Amino acid sequence: AALLPRPARGLSDRLYCGRRVCYEVLGVSRQASKAEIARAYRQLARQYHPDRYRGEPAGGEGSGAQAAHEKFLLIAAAYETLKDEETRKDYDYMLDHPEEYYRHYYHYYRRRLAPKVDVTIVILVTVCAISVFQFFSWWSSYNEAINYLASVPKYRIQATEIARQQGLLNKTKEKGKNRRSKEEIREEEEEIIKDIIKNKIDIKGGYQKPKIYDILLFQILLAPFYWCKYIVWYCWWIYCFTIKGQEYGVEEKLYIIRRYMKMSQSQFDSLEDHQKETFLERQLWIRENYEVYKREQEEELKKKMAMDPRWKRYRRWMKNEGPGRLTFIDD
């Protein structure tokens, strides 16, 4: 019954000025301009504003002030309805088509509940904030990786040797006013070693050096370019290897292997070179060879887990006790 069309009831108590016509409330015609509507509103507001109303009570103490307050609210509602062109257009349509009951409710509450701030601005600010946080988070991870590598003896010794060869650590000590403390010299040498590690070591994965084009904002802006680039590349792939039947190159073979392994580009790049050479030697770009390799890796993983003391302890616990039993055994 609620979904059936409702009969025309004219003006509604919960929309705009209720049962009153907003034009009549302000004392203007439907053809009145915005200036005329504003002028009428100011005159009525000065007359019925609760702080300035000086009329006599009509029915007991305070009833005149209460009536003036309600009148002022009705005047304000009428002005809010007619001062905006879009809202006034919806209201005029309701006056001309009172039978479209649900349409009037939809337009009225859609405008009342619509956000005051443009959604585009909110999305843009959110994306920019995420991008800034993302960039500084990557820088923090990258600096953590450099500090860790600087503490590893293998890389530290190599970086120190390179710094000595370049004469960065063999500078003569300053004398007089320019003389520095041992702590300052140690900090400078530490920065030199870290700079050499940054230049000599290419860190991959989540700790790689951040690039401005990798943040979310630039990824969104460059998305059309990436899509066009991918479509062109895909058409080239179909033409070369499907239609013409050309043999795969090294890059194409590694790409197919990476797709079979379901790894991202950064994950695949983080693998050692000898692992990639093993993939190529075993011809894993062929589906049958990759399936054999996958089964071998699964069997090897099962053997490692079977020989692992912690895994044996876990299986013994699951067999004898299980997760549903209370126990004081720590492991």
Cβ-based neighbours of 26, under 8 Å, separated by 6 or more:
37, 40, 41, 44, 75, 78, 79, 82
pLDDT for 129: 93
Residues 53, 51: Cα–Cα separation, whole Å: 6
Longest dimension (CA), the chain: 102
Residues 230, 238: Cα–Cα separation, whole Å: 12
CATH pick for 22-113 out of 3.30.200.20, 1.20.210.10, 3.30.470.20, 1.10.287.110 = 1.10.287.110
Per-residue pLDDT of the chain (331 residues; tens, 9 = 90+): 344 334 334 566 678 887 888 898 888 888 888 899 999 988 888 887 777 666 554 444 445 677 778 888 888 888 888 888 888 888 888 888 887 777 877 777 777 776 666 778 888 899 999 999 988 988 888 888 888 888 888 888 888 888 888 877 755 455 555 666 778 778 888 888 888 888 877 666 566 777 888 888 888 998 999 999 999 999 999 999 889 888 899 999 999 999 998 888 877 887 888 888 999 999 999 999 999 999 998 888 888 877 777 777 766 766 665 555 444 455 4
Residues 48, 111: Cα–Cα separation, whole Å: 27
pLDDT for 231: 94
Three-state secondary-structure class, residue 4 = coil
Cβ-based neighbours of 220, under 8 Å, separated by 6 or more:
127
Residues 327, 331: Cα–Cα separation, whole Å: 10
For the chain, the domains span 22-113, 120-171+181-210, 247-319
Q: What angle do CA 323, 327, 330 make, to 5 degrees?
A: 95
pLDDT for 158: 84
CB contact at 8 A, 64 and 58: yes
What pTM does this model have?
0.48
Read off the tokens for 78: 């009428």
In this structure, which long-range contacts are made by residues 145-150, counting pairs with CB atoms below 8 Å and at least 24 apart in sequence? Answer: 145/203, 145/207, 146/194, 146/197, 146/198, 146/203, 147/194, 149/197, 149/201, 150/190, 150/193, 150/194, 150/197
Q: How many CB atoms lie within 10 A of CB 250?
A: 9
Residues 99, 104: Cα–Cα separation, whole Å: 9
